[in-house]
Amino acid sequence: SSVSFVPGLTFPASAYSIPGAMLPSSEWNPGMLFGWRWRDRFYNDSPMEMASQIGLLNGEPILYANSPEVAKQLLGNKAPFDKLKESVQSLSPFGPNVFATMSAEWPRHQTAMSPGFNGRLYSSVWTETKKTYYDFLTTEKWENEREFIMPDVTAVTSKFALYLIAKCGFGIDLSWNEDVGERIRGMSLPECFEITSSSVLILSFLSHWTYSLPIPALRRLYNASNILETIFKGIIDKRRVEGFGNTSEDKDIFSLLLAANELEKGSKGALSDRELVSNVFLLLLAGHGSSTLLNVFLLLLAGHETTSKSLAATLGELACNPEVQQHAYDEIMSVIKEGSDPTLDDFEKLPFVQGCFQEALRMYPTAHVLMRRPVEDTVLQVPSRQGGVVPLSVPSGQVVALDFFGIGYNARVYKDPKSFNPARWLDPATEPLLNFSYGPRVCIGKKFAVVEVTGVLALLLRDYKVEPILKDGQTIADWHAAWVENVEAVIGFGHKRFPLKFTRRSVRA
């Protein structure tokens, strides 16, 4: 009765508990990879596109949905559902931000953040993507190689995404060569960004006094986050001294937010300095300290995870699907002018390349679950497995989870869901991705991610053919089967370390 009598699975602890989440995924514990490990069978015994998970000893019971129709009922405008206060509070140590707010407070942060996301930003994203691409090839000494092996694709895509976010989010240049550039308190800026972004969960849960413990890793994390916070506050102070009247040259999110927020000073919509940094730093997926800072931190956190992990997954699938890769290459070469690089004007002319990213995000969603609670007793209209709809009464307070693994692999919604088929996204009848949320709280950084990944793929596939590295006797299908399961869920879901071979094409712009 605790889950409205919906069939499902029972574990000693539910996924919504510390032991249930932190222990490895298995037949007796859900773990962080629960949705992935059970994606083929979780809903099999339920008569509807919803199933339950109950913890006998620990954790709240959860209703999971693998239906986009249910997702829209939870996320739509004026839906009687809200975020879980516990999850909001887990991000509150950074300060109030666009992610860590309930419905009543969220519009103020969304309105304050919107000016940072405009045409000038996307032009900057495209330009900096090209610059970082060439910097990466030159520094790694791959620029003149006929072929090379990238030993850790996920590390490269993570670094690429982080550097783009540093520049387009904060106006901070990070050289691919970490030996180049300023060092602050013995640490380079790339080190500060990478250490902080990879440790956001630690930052959110540890008490301040723990950083004084004689543990080198904690001291290093504390120093890195403090250095970044000092830099961001310095940017705010510098802009206030210079004035906010002329922003024609400012293209990074932080500068645009500062200028727009300055115009709101004195109004209820204005954000404090701590809130501004908080929102942008959580874009970085890291943060420590003040409120203008947290909005910036949070945006960067989310953007880094989505872009880096999904780009790595896209490259892995393209390597295993040479005919799809050829289709993407043909589209790129039909758009790019001979002897030139792709431009932002080419972005909309590359729908198949964008589809490659969307397909990877469907199959390997970075944010794989989204939880809501009804604020009042309500009834969900849930698709049944036999066709039609089943009305399901959901009491106030019941945790309902949108399962993006379940939605992405729902054969009713996406035909042949285990096949990498970017062409499905060229059909307007295809159910749109919900990974960037839906309705009024759709992710503000969605276009940032799509523009960045499309730019990287356009450059990389123009210049190189991507292939898996096969062992003796191994087929592409064998490699792919092992790669698909070589995943982890730490901050977000994605693939572990894997290598790919890049061979220069005979035709290069």
Q: Helix (H) and strand (E) counts for the chain?
A: 18, 16
Do 397 and 374 touch, CB atoms closer than 8 A?
Answer: yes
Instruction: Give the integer Cα–Cα distance in Å for 341 and 462.
Output: 9
Instruction: Give the integer Cα–Cα distance in Å for 391 and 395.
Output: 13
Widest distance between CA atoms in the chain: 69
DSSP assignment, residue 24? P
Run of H or E residues at 38: none
Best CA proximity match to 431, nearest among 451, 411, 448, 460 = 411
DSSP string, 380-413: EEEEBTTSSEEEEEE-TT-EEEEEHHHHHT-TTT
Phi first, then psi, for residue 386 (nearest 5°) are -95, 5
Beta bridge partners of 400: 63, 372
DSSP assignment, residue 76? S
Best CA proximity match to 295, nearest among 86, 81, 117 = 117
Give the sign of the dihedral formed by CA 389, CA 395, CA 397, CA 399: negative
Task: Please count the CA atoms within 13 angstroms of the CA of 10 that sit on its side-chain side.
Answer: 7
Tokens of 381: 């209209």
Best CA proximity match to 320, nearest among 161, 116, 465, 432 = 465
DSSP assignment, residue 356? H
Q: How many CB atoms lie within 10 A of CB 92?
A: 17
Q: Is 356 marked as binding a ligand?
A: no
Do 486 and 453 touch, CB atoms closer than 8 A?
Answer: no
Residue given tokens 């994390």 in the structure block: 221
Do 88 and 100 touch, CB atoms closer than 8 A?
Answer: yes
E runs forming strands in 60-118? 62-65, 81-82
Question: Binding site for heme: residue ranges?
Answer: 443
Question: Binding site: residue ranges?
Answer: 443
